[in-house]
């Protein structure tokens, strides 16, 4: 089940809101139980047989969490920490990577049987949620939860269950027992959800149509203009798709009293690759920083070890996104660029004009998304070649012009929407305290939200193209 589906919007969410808010606020555990039950149903709807895997993951983290806490011997705490990490990553490794390893080894002539394993939805996210809990408790930055239902709710909470953001246990542990739902949070959460839904339905899906046409074209049949249009469209699609899901997740969380941290901060205005990754998928980059990079020594070590730490983190970042060589090379591609900015050309880059730094960053990002989107390494080579005029049918073609004419409104809005124009407008209105400005601040977003909601529902009911990219990971 996805947030932008008829089943979720017309049945699941209304039913949950009614049942949840019928229960008086003082019966906190009953409300938690309702939210847990609906969250497990939400997950089981997409694959009932994987619900057992989810429950096993919850059980592992609950039991190990009790024994990694202070009060037990160091030997016991380390044993259960290792057990939780090995079991959690073991399940992730089997379901997500066993087929990849078997096929890679078979390419070398080993003749291993290839496991017929289906990837459970959201396993990359709920595994990291569980590890966050165990490590936070082991470090003493969070207290162990003795109520198993609360741990189950943390790991299975439906807004962030299948596509993030990666919510740290330490940031929501208090809210599991003492959150205070109110009308202000609910209305602001609903507005955040509506704008996320519109971003998904009106922008991401449209750009996805263009990107799929370009990347679905056979090698040698692409023109240079069409390959660039497809790459730029996918650059917009993946941002609007994933940030839309994060917006909807944060909005839903707030409707139930949870305050999740932001996951995106206008990454396409970055002026370096380093800044881009400070703004893109913040929950993932901060997770690897705090649970992998810093424990390895971070930058408080020799330069050689620091480089080793960065390589490990970005290898894992690429591999986390998918069991394929193009994801590994995608992570290592960014690794090389980040090392370059850190040790080679970063100081000279900082002195360059802002416009030049932005062009440099976006060119790298667009090329990186080709590596991310392509189905295979040969397609990466042929597609990048087409972008630079190698093996193409020509510099331009009629299909490029047709798509530009067909989708020009969405393309223009997309270019505007990747910039913080909303924040600039709000700041302008807040400075001008005239009655008109106050009314625009109060009613403008609400009226715009209603209009966008109407258009989003219209797109939905006509059965338009509606995938979610990060459901693959």
Quick one: tokens of 105? 């080894």
Give me the mean pLDDT over the 226-240 stretch: 96
Q: What is the extent of the structural domain holding 326?
A: 186-461
Q: Are 175 and 257 in contact (CB under 8 A)?
A: yes
Task: Give pLDDT tens digits for 289-307.
Answer: 999 999 999 889 999 999 9
pLDDT score, position 440: 76
Catalytic residues: 321
Nearest alpha carbon to residue 428 among 414, 452, 444:
444
Give me the mean pLDDT over the 136-145 stretch: 91
Q: How far is CA 330 from CA 8, 109, 220, in A?
A: 33, 26, 24
Is 99 part of a structural domain of the chain? yes
Residues 352 and 394 in one domain: yes
pLDDT score, position 413: 95
pLDDT score, position 218: 87
Is 467 part of a structural domain of the chain? no
pLDDT score, position 404: 94
* ∠ Cα 78 84 86 (to 5°): 100
Residues 210 and 129 in one domain: no
Q: Are 279 and 267 in contact (CB under 8 A)?
A: yes
Q: What are phi and psi of 360, to 5 degrees?
A: -55, -45
Is 1 part of a structural domain of the chain? no
Residues 230 and 318 in one domain: yes
- How many beta carbons lie within 10 A of that of residue 177, not counting itself? 12
Is 86 part of a structural domain of the chain? yes
Q: How confident is the model at residue 332 (pLDDT cuts 50, 70, 90)?
A: very high
Is 470 part of a structural domain of the chain? no
Quick one: tokens of 352? 């360059």
* ∠ Cα 239 241 244 (to 5°): 95
CA separation for the pair 43, 41 (Å, rounded): 5
Task: Answer yes or no: is pLDDT of 209 > 80.
Answer: yes
pLDDT score, position 392: 74
Mean pLDDT over all residues of the chain? 90
Residues 133 and 28 in one domain: yes
pLDDT score, position 397: 83
Q: How confident is the model at residue 163 (pLDDT cuts 50, 70, 90)?
A: confident
Residues 225 and 146 in one domain: no
pLDDT score, position 196: 94
Residues 288 and 404 in one domain: yes
Give me the mean pLDDT over the 327-352 stretch: 95
Task: Answer yes or no: is pLDDT of 467 > 70.
Answer: no
Residues 113 and 215 in one domain: no
pLDDT score, position 472: 55
Residues 171 and 194 in one domain: no
Domain boundary among 162, 179, 196: 179
Among the ranges given (27-31, 108-112, 158-162, 393-397), the one the predictor scored with the smallest mean pLDDT: 393-397
Residues 174 and 246 in one domain: no
Task: Give pLDDT tens digits for 248-272.
Answer: 999 999 999 999 999 999 999 999 9
Q: How far is CA 187 from CA 2, 164, 190, 254, in A?
A: 21, 22, 5, 9
CA separation for the pair 407, 399 (Å, rounded): 12
Domain boundary among 179, 213, 234: 179
Residues 172 and 193 in one domain: no
Residues 136 and 193 in one domain: no
Domain boundary among 144, 179, 214: 179
Q: Are 243 and 264 in contact (CB under 8 A)?
A: yes
Is 373 part of a structural domain of the chain? yes
Q: How far is CA 182 from CA 47, 185, 258, in A?
A: 33, 6, 11
Nearest alpha carbon to residue 292 among 274, 313, 311, 306:
313
Residues 244 and 198 in one domain: yes
pLDDT score, position 351: 94
Task: Give pLDDT tens digits for 30-61.
Answer: 999 999 999 999 999 877 888 999 999 999 99
pTM of the model as a whole: 0.91
Is 406 part of a structural domain of the chain? yes
CA separation for the pair 310, 296 (Å, rounded): 10
Nearest alpha carbon to residue 290 among 163, 176, 139:
139
Quick one: tokens of 411? 């393309």
Give me the mean pLDDT over the 116-127 stretch: 88
Q: Are 326 and 376 in contact (CB under 8 A)?
A: yes
Task: Answer yes or no: is pLDDT of 220 > 90.
Answer: no
Is 297 part of a structural domain of the chain? yes
CA separation for the pair 202, 455 (Å, rounded): 8
- Cα-Cα end-to-end distance for the chain: 15
How many domains, the chain?
Answer: 2
């Amino acid at each position: 089940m996805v947030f932008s589906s008829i089943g979720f919007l017309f049945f699941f969410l209304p039913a949950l809101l009614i049942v949840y808010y019928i229960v008086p606020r003082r019966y906190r555990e009953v409300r938690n139980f309702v939210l847990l039950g609906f969250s497990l149903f939400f997950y089981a709807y997409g694959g009932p047989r994987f619900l057992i895997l989810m429950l096993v993951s919850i059980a592992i983290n609950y039991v190990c969490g009790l024994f990694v806490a202070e009060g037990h011997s160091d030997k016991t705490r380390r044993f259960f920490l290792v057990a939780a990490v090995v079991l959690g990553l073991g399940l992730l490794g089997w379901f997500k990577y066993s087929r990849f390893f078997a096929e890679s080894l078979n390419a070398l002539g080993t003749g291993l049987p290839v496991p017929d394993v289906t990837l459970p939805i959201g396993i990359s996210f709920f595994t990291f949620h569980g590890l966050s809990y165990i490590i936070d408790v082991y470090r003493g930055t969070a207290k162990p939860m003795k109520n198993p239902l609360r741990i189950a709710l943390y790991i299975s909470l439906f807004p962030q269950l299948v596509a993030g953001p990666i919510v740290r246990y330490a940031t929501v542990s208090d809210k599991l027992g003492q959150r205070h739902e109110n009308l202000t949070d609910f209305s602001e959460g609903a507005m955040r959800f509506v704008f996320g839904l519109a971003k998904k339905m009106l922008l991401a899906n449209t750009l996805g149509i263009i990107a799929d046409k370009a990347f679905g074209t056979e090698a040698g049949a692409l023109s240079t203009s069409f390959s660039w249009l497809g790459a730029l469209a996918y650059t917009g699609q993946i941002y609007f798709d994933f940030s839309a899901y994060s917006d909807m997740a944060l909005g839903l969380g707030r409707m139930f009293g949870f305050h999740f941290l932001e996951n995106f901060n206008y990454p396409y205005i970055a002026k370096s690759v380093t800044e881009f990754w400070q703004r893109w998928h913040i929950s993932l980059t901060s997770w690897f920083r705090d649970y992998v990079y810093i424990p390895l020594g971070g930058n408080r070590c020799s330069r050689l070890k620091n480089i080793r730490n960065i390589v490990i983190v970005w290898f894992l970042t690429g591999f986390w996104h998918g069991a394929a060589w193009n994801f590994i090379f995608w992570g290592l591609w960014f690794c090389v660029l980040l090392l370059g900015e850190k040790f080679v050309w970063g100081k000279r880059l900082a002195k360059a004009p802002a416009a030049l730094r932005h062009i440099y960053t976006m060119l790298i990002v667009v090329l990186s998304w080709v590596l991310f989107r392509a189905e295979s390494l040969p397609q990466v080579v042929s597609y990048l070649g087409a972008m630079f005029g190698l093996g193409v049918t020509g510099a331009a073609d009629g299909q490029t012009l047709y798509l530009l004419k067909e989708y020009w409104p969405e393309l223009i809005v997309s270019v505007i929407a990747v910039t913080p124009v909303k924040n600039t407008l709000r700041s302008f209105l807040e400075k001008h305290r005239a009655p008109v400005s106050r009314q625009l601040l109060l009613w403008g977003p609400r009226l715009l939200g209603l209009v966008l909601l109407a258009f989003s529902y219209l797109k939905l009911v006509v059965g338009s193209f509606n995938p979610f990219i990060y459901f693959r990971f």
